Chain A
Amino acid sequence: MATVIARTTLPPIELPAPSPLDDGDLLGIRIGTPIRIPLLAKLGLSTQTGVIWLGTWGVLSTFFFVAGVGVLALAAFQQMNGNLLLAIKYFANIQIAPPEGLGLAPSLQEGGYWQINLTFWALSVLCWAGRCYERLTRYQWRPFLLFAWLAAILLTSTIWVFRPLAMGSWAEAPALGLNSDLDWAQNFSVLWGNLYYDPWHMLAIFFLFGSTMLWGMHGATILATASEGSHMEDAEIKDMHSGSHKSMLFWRWTMGFNANPKTIHDWLWWFSVGTVLSSALGIITTGTVVKDWYVWGVDHGWVSQYGEITRSAINQSSQKPLVGLNRPEEPGVTTPQGGF
């Protein structure tokens, strides 16, 4: 590896060739001056930063993003009575909560800020998808990156939009904030009977850990053979050399199976996208189709039963939204329902 990264001179600044595909956009300019950071070469990273494409989609996406963060900051300051010191001190604890029900929030403080922020978020990520599509078209990539980004949007909108719609209350979605995010994850699992027994969650964790494992395997394999050029993957897919040969033989001799410079990227892409797709399925089924994953697991022979199960309590709890737990308990109400 050292032979690859030890360069005496930095590579020249690279700029994209002029293309008619750049012309159709009113804001279609590249801004900034390319800067080279020699230190990055020591790490094996590319030294050139910039330039960046502005573009109408990019401007819109950035505008909505900044507006969303602005609304969030405004709401946080209002909660802290405009006290900057308090806002810093309670930075992790500040939460912008969603309203109850599916309508417009009664006031800014009772969910209005949350709704405005989520609207800006949706516009921002969708405009970014437009930017992704437009730049992919410019460089004539196959649209893998766009579909990966749309899969990521699908997961986040399942958590913040689709599942709350299915459950009938925005309060099912996480509040915006650092600790509220963690608390939502914890409470969500507890309220719906332990998410570890959700088979889609199991699959998502499998793909997530598998993604890290595949990055470890692929990154390590390429770094180990980079002195023979295996990192130049587009060229290696066309015409393999000793670096790729060794990468393939290493795994063939180690575990009896090997990918090649092209198919390893199929594995990478599908493990990553598989993570978000199975996560989305795990979220959307929780509380809508399955009320209690532990009881579901016991009923379907996945989980050992540890003690008694009170099914009426499960059915009752499934009718409650996640936030607003200060309502009085109603122990006498039993409405037996299906749904397991």
Chain B
Amino acid sequence: MLSFEGVYRKRGGTFLADFLGDDPLDFWVGRFYVGLFGVISVGAAVLGTLIIILSIALIGDGDLVRVTIGAPLRQYGLGFAPFLQGGNWEWIVIFATVAFVAWALREVEICRKLNMGYHVPIMFSFAISAFVVLQIIRPLLLGCWCEGFDIGFTGHLTWVSNTGFRYMNFYLNPFHAYGILGFFLTAMVLAMHGSAILGTYNTNADPNVETANVDNFWRDYVGYSIGELGIHVLGFWLAIYTLIMSDLCILTSGPFVQDWVDFWHFHIPWFH
């Protein structure tokens, strides 16, 4: 327990407590809060992990780096496949999605307990959307679970590589480019924010002087200081922008666009 933790550890305010009047799962185990959604999430994660372990055991070579749990074969379409021909993959995706969504709901409950905003579960939902678009929505649009990515350390890299070439040149996918822009921008702004705080905290100055030093530095350096709250607003929206672009990047490839090179061969009539 942290020194101030006792003040904040209070029962109540959970989903089950609202509906049943009492929540039998409203307790902590060590550092972790449990709750209904914690049980669901960890349960699903354990089941998914067991399927991975079982698959590796059945495949049998014990190579954890190269082992790949492939998406179902094309012949099974949107149906269930035999266990080692993609059935394991389907169950892993189901359990993973349940675990992720329950984890987001668990974050909502913790937010309610602490009486804080729902920004973290909202952000996590955007992250989940990347997984759901890749493994569920895009395969549904293309009519085959085989379109999902293979699960494995270098196996998923091979899938990413092949998928890029399948649509000719993924670098010419504009959403891919905007997504990379978002990733690079978050890394850059992250370094700027980290440097500002690590550079100025706990000097001998008054905290207000330290903050003024941050604002005045950025105004001197680039002409604008976005402010203590503003930098977090920027980071929050940059991360969401990046995730939305990543979703669009993979969702358009296949269902809407077959060839990102050919995509640019349009004709603008008034340009001649």
Q: Which residues of A contact B (CB under 8 A)?
A: 1, 4-5, 14-16, 30, 32, 40, 43-46, 48-53, 89, 131-132, 135-136, 138-145, 148, 152, 179, 182-183, 185-186, 194, 196-197, 202, 207-209, 211-227, 231-235, 237-240, 245-246, 248-250, 252-257, 262, 265-266, 268-269, 271-273, 275-276, 297, 301-304, 306
Contacts and interface: CB of A to CB of B under 8 A. Distances in A.
B68 A212 contact: no
Contact of B31 (A194, A202, A246, A256): A256
B8 A226 contact: no
Given A4-B229, A235-B208, A194 B183 contact: no
B216 A14 contact: yes
Contact of A45 (B171, B211, B226): B226
B112 to A, nearest CB: 11
Contact of A271 (B190, B214, B229): B190
Contact of B65 (A53, A185, A207, A302): A302
Interface stretch (B11-19, B73-81, B85-93, B198-206): B198-206
8 contacts: A4-B229, A5-B229, A44-B233, A140-B203, A214-B190, A219-B239, A223-B229, A231-B232
Contact of A302 (B114, B154, B212, B228): B154
B122 to A, nearest CB: 7
A7 to B, nearest CB: 11
B67 to A, nearest CB: 9
A245 B28 CA distance: 17
Interface string B24-66: 0000101111000000000000000000000000000001011
**Which 8 A-B pairs give the minimum distances between C-beta atoms?**
A46-B227, A269-B194, A219-B236, A141-B199, A224-B117, A219-B235, A216-B239, A45-B230
Contact of B110 (A40, A220, A231, A250): A250
A43 to B, nearest CB: 6
Q: Which of B187, B199, B230 has the most CB of A within 10 A?
A: B187
Contacts, number: 300
B252 interface: no
A219 B31 CA distance: 23
Q: Interface extent on B, as a size class?
A: 35 or more
B119 A224 contact: yes
A234 B220 contact: no
A268 to B, nearest CB: 4
Contact of A303 (B66, B117, B194, B215): B66
Contacts of B119: 219-221, 223-224
A142 B239 contact: no
A253 B31 contact: yes
Contacts of B182: 212
B20 interface: no
Interface of B: 2, 4-5, 7-8, 28, 30-33, 63, 65-66, 68, 106-107, 110-111, 113-120, 122-124, 126-127, 154-155, 157-158, 160-161, 169, 171-172, 177, 182-184, 186-203, 207-208, 210-217, 219-230, 232-240, 242-243, 271
Contacts of B124: 216
A266 to B, nearest CB: 7
Contacts of B198: 142, 144, 262, 265-266, 269
A212 B232 CA distance: 13
Dominant SS at the A interface? Answer: helix
B235 A139 contact: no
B192 to A, nearest CB: 7
A143 to B, nearest CB: 7
A196 B158 contact: yes
B158 A233 contact: no
Contacts of A43: 230, 233
B13 to A, nearest CB: 13
Contacts of A16: 216, 219-220
Given A45-B233, A234-B210, A250-B114, A275 B187 contact: yes
A256 B30 contact: yes
Given A141-B217, A218-B232, A254-B110, 12 more contacts: A45-B226, A46-B225, A46-B226, A139-B217, A182-B169, A216-B236, A234-B214, A252-B31, A253-B31, A272-B191, A302-B65, A304-B154
A135 B237 CA distance: 29
Contacts of A275: 187
